[in-house]
């Protein structure tokens, strides 16, 4: 049966040429795998430069006199503190104070904002909060997102860019021309490396992709993206957080502006602080391959948690995972039994991120 997809990347034909079956994520055909080895893609991101088509992320533009008020009601950050050219990672809450989604809000200047999110309910929250406000918001699927990540990303982009990206700070963004095409470049990513996201219209994205490939940037699949983001301790909505979890439980307390009032889920979320049922942790597993996910974590026969996002890092020579465990079992060094899917072994809780624990590569 042909898969029905509601959204299409202009880069789809390039992905199929590389071996992708364009599996669905967020309503768009996504390069979950290529004919290339994900380990080679992993190496490219860590040693040189790799690029991911992140266009399945939803890019929603928000404009109008009440644009800031709308975003303030939908998100956990104080939006007024995000100056033009800056952006912030934040939580989107349900009425019950749990995670509806995570997202990045960018101030474009001139009263225009962009909120970029994955498969959670941010767009629905925007619609609900916009009632009675003088505001316009619209999903822009023509805008594509090419994420260029790795230690050589800056040099490759700067050699072909109209602005000097060296001065662009972490989570800042700027309009630019890349390979002669108008775009917006943001110093963000999902890999634990210094990298940049190139936001360009569909009419330009294909040519930018081709020029990047010609400059030695390796096309990378979501199979390798999972490896690098788990090493970096970065969460994937639907796996590492859902509407069952508060920001406190998944390590996103830093996204909460405590002095801010009157936003969806605020009171319930604040009341839940200190009452966490689980904590998000990293695991190193005594296993010579990737586990399947959903394995039970226990001590002395008592279930204490579950594996959410597993991978095998050939670079670290370790089987890794992100997991939710009871707060009593969340301290680094805690040893746990792991069982499920025919696997019986042990795991150790470790600090996040596992790769580059001081985050020097992203922040320097």
What is the structure's pLDDT at 3?
Answer: 46
Q: Are residues 186 and 9 in contact, defined by beta-carbon separation less than 8 angstroms?
A: no
114 pLDDT higher than 60: yes
What is the structure's pLDDT at 4?
Answer: 53
Distances 338 to 123, 168, 292, 298, 355 between C-alpha atoms, Å: 37, 43, 11, 7, 22
CA distance 95 to 112: 26
Is the entire prediction scored with pTM above 0.95? yes
Go through the chain and tell me how many residues it has: 364
CA distance 99 to 251: 11
For 64, counting Cβ atoms within 10 Å of its Cβ (0-12 exposed, 13-18 middle, 19+ buried), the class is middle
**pLDDT tens digits for range 48-93:** 999 999 999 999 999 999 999 999 999 999 999 999 999 999 999 9
Q: Which single residue is written with the structure tokens 């406000």?
A: 133
CA distance 316 to 51: 21
What is the structure's pLDDT at 364?
Answer: 85
Q: Are residues 123 and 129 in contact, defined by beta-carbon separation less than 8 angstroms?
A: no
CA distance 313 to 316: 5
**pLDDT tens digits for range 93-104:** 999 999 999 999
CA distance 35 to 303: 39
DSSP state of 329: G
Residue-range domains of the chain with CATH: 12-55+141-231 (3.30.1360.120), 278-361 (2.40.30.110)
For residues 71-108, one letter each, b for 16 or more C-beta atoms within 10 angstroms of the residue's C-beta and e for the rest, the string is bbbbbbbbbeebeebebbebbbbbeebbbbbbbbbbbb
The pair of structure tokens assigned to 251 is 């390590």
Q: Average pLDDT, whole number, for the chain?
A: 97
Q: Are residues 294 and 339 in contact, defined by beta-carbon separation less than 8 angstroms?
A: no
148: region left, alpha or beta (phi > 0 left; psi from -120 to 50 alpha): beta
């Amino acid at each position: 049966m042909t898969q029905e997809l509601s959204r299409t990347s202009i880069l789809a034909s390039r992905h199929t040429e590389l071996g992708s079956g364009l599996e669905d994520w967020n309503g768009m055909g996504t390069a979950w795998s290529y004919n290339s080895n994900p380990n080679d893609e992993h190496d490219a991101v860590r040693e040189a430069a790799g690029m991911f088509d992140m266009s399945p992320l939803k890019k929603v533009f928000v404009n109008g006199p009440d644009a800031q008020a709308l975003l303030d009601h939908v998100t956990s950050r104080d939006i007024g503190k995000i100056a033009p050219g800056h952006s912030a990672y934040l939580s989107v809450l349900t009425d019950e104070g749990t995670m509806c989604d995570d997202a990045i809000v960018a101030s474009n200047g001139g009263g225009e904002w962009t909120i970029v999110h994955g498969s959670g309910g941010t767009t629905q929250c925007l619609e609900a909060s916009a009632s009675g406000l003088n505001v316009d918001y619209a999903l822009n699927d023509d805008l594509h997102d090419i994420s260029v990540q790795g230690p050589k990303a800056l040099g490759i982009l700067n050699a072909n860019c109209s602005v000097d990206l060296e001065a662009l700070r972490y989570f800042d963004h700027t309009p630019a021309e890349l390979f002669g095409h108008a775009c917006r470049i943001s110093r963000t990513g999902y890999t634990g490396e210094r990298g940049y996201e190139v936001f360009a219209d569909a009419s330009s994205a294909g040519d930018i992709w081709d020029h990047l490939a010609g400059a030695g940037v390796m096309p990378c699949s979501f199979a390798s993206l999972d490896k690098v983001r788990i090493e970096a301790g970065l969460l994937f909505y639907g796996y590492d957080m859902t509407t069952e979890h508060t920001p406190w439980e998944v390590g996103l307390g830093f996204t909460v502006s405590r002095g801010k009032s009157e936003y969806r889920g605020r009171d319930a979320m604040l009341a839940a602080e200190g009452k966490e049922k689980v904590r998000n942790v990293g695991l190193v597993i005594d296993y010579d391959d990737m586990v399947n996910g959903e394995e039970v974590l226990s001590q002395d026969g008592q279930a204490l948690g579950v594996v959410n996002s597993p991978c095998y890092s050939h670079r670290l020579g370790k089987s890794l995972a992100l997991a939710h465990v009871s707060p009593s079992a969340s301290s680094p060094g805690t040893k746990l039994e792991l069982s499920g899917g025919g696997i019986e072994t042990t795991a150790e809780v470790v600090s996040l991120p596992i790769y580059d624990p001081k985050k020097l590569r992203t922040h320097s």
